[in-house]
Amino acid sequence: MNTLLNVILIPQLGAMGAAIATMIGYLTVTIIRTISTNKIIRMKISWPIQIMSAVLILIQGIMASLENTTVIQMAVLAIIIYIQRSFIGKELGKVIPIIMNRVKGRNKGGGNNNIRA
C-alpha cells in the first residue's frame, strides 16, 4: 500500500506525499494488527479514542510542516498521551502477564514456536 501511495503522491506532493503515504500505511498496519492481536489476546479497544488519537497525530504532522509550531505540537502530543494513558495502563497490565506465561510455556515445550489462543 505504501509503495502504491508513494507512486501516486510523490510526483504531485514531493516529500509531503511520501510522508502522507507512510502515515496512511502505518495507520492501516496498526488497525490490522490491533484487530488480529485482539483475536489472540482479548483487549477492550475504544475505537473512538483510537480514532481521536489518529486525528491528533495527523494534526501534529500538519503542524510539523509549518514553521514556529513547536508549542502547539507539544500540546497535541500531551493530549495524545493523556487520552491514551488509561488504555495503556489497563490493557498493558493484562497483556504482559499473558505474554510472559506463553513465553514460559514455549520454553518448557521443547521448541514448539506456535502460539495458539
Mean pLDDT confidence for 77-96: 76
Rounded CA-CA distance 104/25 in Å is 34
Residues 80, 109, single domain; the answer is: yes
Domain containing 7 equals: 1-40
% of the chain beyond a pLDDT of 70: 88
Burial of 53 (0-12, 13-18, 19+ CB in 10 A): middle
Is the pTM above the cut of 0.85? Answer: no
pLDDT (tens digit, 9 = 90+) per residue, 16-49? 889 889 988 988 998 898 888 888 877 777 788 7
Residues 23, 11 share a domain: yes
- Do 66 and 100 fall within a single domain? yes
- Whose cell is 497535541? That residue is 76
| pLDDT given for residue 10 in this prediction | 93
The pLDDT mean for the chain works out to 79
Query: Residue range 82-100: average pLDDT?
Result: 76
Claim to verify: residue 116 and residue 92 sit in the same structural domain: yes
Task: Provide the domain count of the chain.
Answer: 2
Residues 66 and 51 in one domain: yes
Same domain, 49 and 101: yes
Question: 62 with 115, same domain?
Answer: yes
